[in-house]
């Protein structure tokens, strides 16, 4: 079981994560709420394909239990311990399982198993076909990000700075690495990225590290950003957003720091621009889209030449990670709205409300559909269509 001090620190830092925008930008003034939604000329409509409910969703704290799509199934978990396999086409439940632990991390998949992380610092493996438990192993730190699998190994990053490789058959530890944590961190962990024969991870000290898959040997260790400021809150530079690979380059973004492109062979930082985010990036139209902690959405040019456009009308709305669909980049917000922005210039083109409990899980696109998992447990797919077209 996790130690009481660790659980207390986790809860405290979850509150910090939700209030840091006010702390860092208002200089002691009373915190403002989300910016009001402005009228716009509607160009597209979100048409719901199907919807279902998964337990209590994200629960009462800042969890990001991201669903994962594998083939024609979606694997999704709720904070109270429900795990379900759901058909992508119709949203029908194939199997469901109930664990006796609160879940804070997941979901990961391999050829044979589904992996989740518990609040007690465990990784649990479930049979992919029927949800029966295969094994569980205690790692000593909360697993807030989805475990990643390749061949017969599972790669796990914990909230207390560990990177571990486990045997996928029985959970036995193969290798481990521990990184020193700063005094304060956001509640979150960047999802490890498997690229060729390496697993690459972002850490709370603003560094990205590449490990050899089989042995855990460090291939390179690159600093994305440097902490600045007088207070510990001002010096938080976590890399919590998932790392992203495109066309042989790795992209990382930190809180209160930089977005950077990294050469995966050498770890050399090819370019960097100022940015601050803890949410997933997306790609399209030669841009990298970053949902900023301040509620901005910025299109950074992939060649490192800076921002092509920035949309600021969603200020203080605590945006989800973005996803691209058709000619639009889509984000969700704390009040449960989806917003579609033009990839060309960032103008708002469509909006719909999913769940009054809000959205905080990163959005995903699958083929021509958007996959959304709300704080309250609604799992929904949408199509973004011409305003005049209907969906039957």
Distance, CA of 115 to CA of 102 (rounded, Å): 14
The domain defined by 279-385 folds into: Lipocalin (2.40.128)
Could you tell me if 97 and 387 are in contact, meaning their C-beta atoms sit under 8 angstroms apart?
A: no
Question: Which residues, at least 6 apart from 378, have a Cβ–Cβ distance to it below 8 Å?
Answer: 51, 52, 53, 54, 57, 354, 355, 372
Could you tell me if 291 and 336 are in contact, meaning their C-beta atoms sit under 8 angstroms apart?
A: no
pLDDT of 84 reads 98
CATH node for 63-178? 2.40.128.630
pLDDT of 30 reads 54
Q: What is the mean pLDDT of residues 165-192?
A: 94
The sign of the torsion formed by the CA atoms of 14, 51, 132, 130 equals: negative
pLDDT tens, residue by residue, 230-274:
999 999 999 999 999 999 999 999 999 999 999 999 999 999 999
Q: What is the mean pLDDT of residues 9-20?
A: 42
Sequence ranges of the chain with CATH classification 2.40.128.630: 63-178, 279-385
Instruction: Give the architecture (CATH level 2) of 184-278.
Output: Beta Barrel (2.40)
pLDDT of 87 reads 98
Token pair of 268 as six digits = 């050399």
Could you tell me if 208 and 219 are in contact, meaning their C-beta atoms sit under 8 angstroms apart?
A: no
pLDDT of 1 reads 40
**Model confidence, pTM:** 0.91
Q: What is the mean pLDDT of residues 99-122?
A: 94
Distance, CA of 143 to CA of 371 (rounded, Å): 23
> 2-11, 86-95, 139-148, 203-212: which range is least confident on average?
2-11
pLDDT tens, residue by residue, 327-379:
999 999 999 999 999 999 999 999 999 999 999 999 999 999 999 999 999 99
What torsion do the CA atoms of 51, 363, 242, 90 make, to the nearest 10 degrees? 30
């Amino acid at each position: 079981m996790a130690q009481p001090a660790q659980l207390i620190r986790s809860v405290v830092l979850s509150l910090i994560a939700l209030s840091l925008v006010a702390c860092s930008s208002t200089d002691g003034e009373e915190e403002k709420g989300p910016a009001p939604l402005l009228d716009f000329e509607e160009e597209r409509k979100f048409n719901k394909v199907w919807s279902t409910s998964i337990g209590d969703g994200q629960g009462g704290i800042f969890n990001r239990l991201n669903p994962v799509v594998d083939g024609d199934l979606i694997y999704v978990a709720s904070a109270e311990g429900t795990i379900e396999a759901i058909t992508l086409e119709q949203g029908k439940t194939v199997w469901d399982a109930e664990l006796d632990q609160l879940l804070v991390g997941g979901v990961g998949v391999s050829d044979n198993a589904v992996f989740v992380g518990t609040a007690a610092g465990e990784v649990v493996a479930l049979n992919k076909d029927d949800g029966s438990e295969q094994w569980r192993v205690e790692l000593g730190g909360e697993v807030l990000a989805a475990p990643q699998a390749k061949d017969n190994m599972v790669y796990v990053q914990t909230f207390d700075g560990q990177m571990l490789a486990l045997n996928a058959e029985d959970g036995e530890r193969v290798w481990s690495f521990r990184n020193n944590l700063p005094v304060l961190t956001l509640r979150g962990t960047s999802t490890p990225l498997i690229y060729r024969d390496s697993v690459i991870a972002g850490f709370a000290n603003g560094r990205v590290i590449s490990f050899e898959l089989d042995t855990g040997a460090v291939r390179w260790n690159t600093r994305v950003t440097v902490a600045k400021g007088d207070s510990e809150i001002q010096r938080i530079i976590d890399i919590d957003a998932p790392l992203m690979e495109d066309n042989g380059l790795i992209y990382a973004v930190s809180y209160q720091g930089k977005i950077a492109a990294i050469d995966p062979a050498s770890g050399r930082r090819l370019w960097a621009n100022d940015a601050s985010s803890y949410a997933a990036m997306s790609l399209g139209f030669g841009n990298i889209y970053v949902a900023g902690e301040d509620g901005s959405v910025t299109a950074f040019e992939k060649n490192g030449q800076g921002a092509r456009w920035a949309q600021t009308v969603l200020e203080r709305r605590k945006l989800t990670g973005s996803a691209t669909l058709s000619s639009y980049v889509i984000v969700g917000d704390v009040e449960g709205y989806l917003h579609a922005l033009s990839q060309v210039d960032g103008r708002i083109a469509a909006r719909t409300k999913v769940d009054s409990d809000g959205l905080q899980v990163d959005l995903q696109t699958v083929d021509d559909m958007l996959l959304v998992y709300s704080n309250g447990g609604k799992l929904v797919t949408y199509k973004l269509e011409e305003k005049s077209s209907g969906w039957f």
